Amino acid sequence: CEENPHSDVKQIIRELCTSLENFDLRWANFEQFYVLELMNIESNARKRIVEAISLDKEMTGFEMRERLKGKVVLNSEVYNALRRKFAETCCQINSVANSEGKGRDDLNVDILIAAEGISRRISNSQSRAVRNLAERIKKSFNAVSYTHLRAHETREDLVCRLLLEKK
């Protein structure tokens, strides 16, 4: 029996094509799974930012309504609950967003409340260092404002926020 070298080459090419098609199909399935996982991660991260924007907006509205009534918001349980949730959400964002692994999610609004108390009770002449630290804590918390968070808002977030505002 004489072998035909051309038929062997053709058979090898067919097997190679089949193998490459199978590899391509498996690779496409992997990429699809990978992309869906990335989209899920991004969606979860965006939820925290949208939540922080919503909480900040709610706090700002509460502050404005209470000021119009001539009330102080610091003693309000509702306002402090909003601030607590806002601080937790910002800490989660900080923890996830810090690419160097230095983000913290263990800080909470109690630190801010204590800093505000120190600012009210301690004068510059009593302890300038303690008062400065308290003021820096307050400024850090206030730096994460509605307008700052809005700078990270995407078109999808904007649509989501607009839909939420209509409710």
Closest CA to 146 of 90, 107, 102, 92: 90
- Least confidently predicted of 38-47, 71-80, 89-98, 138-147: 138-147
Question: Which one has a higher pLDDT value, 150 or 133?
Answer: 133
d(CA 111, CA 139): 12
Q: Tell me what the pLDDT averaged over the chain comes to.
A: 77
Lowest mean pLDDT among 30-34, 126-130, 152-156: 152-156
pLDDT tens-digit map of 3-41: 666 678 889 999 999 999 999 999 998 999 888 888 887
Residues constituting the chain: 167
| Cα(105)–Cα(82) distance, integer angstroms | 17
Is it the case that residue 148 has pLDDT exceeding 90? no
Could you give the CA distance from residue 15 to residue 21 in angstroms, rounded to a whole number?
A: 10
The pLDDT of 90-105, averaged and rounded, is 67
pLDDT in the model for residue 39: 85
User: In which residue are the tokens 């206030």 written?
Assistant: 142
Distance CA 54, CA 145 (A): 11
Q: In the structure, what pLDDT confidence band is assigned to residue 94 with cuts at 50, 70 and 90?
A: confident
Model pLDDT, residue 161: 47
More confident residue, 11 or 1: 11
Helices (H) and strands (E) in the chain, counts: 6, 0
Which has more confidence, 78 or 165? 78
Burial of 153 (0-12, 13-18, 19+ CB in 10 A): middle
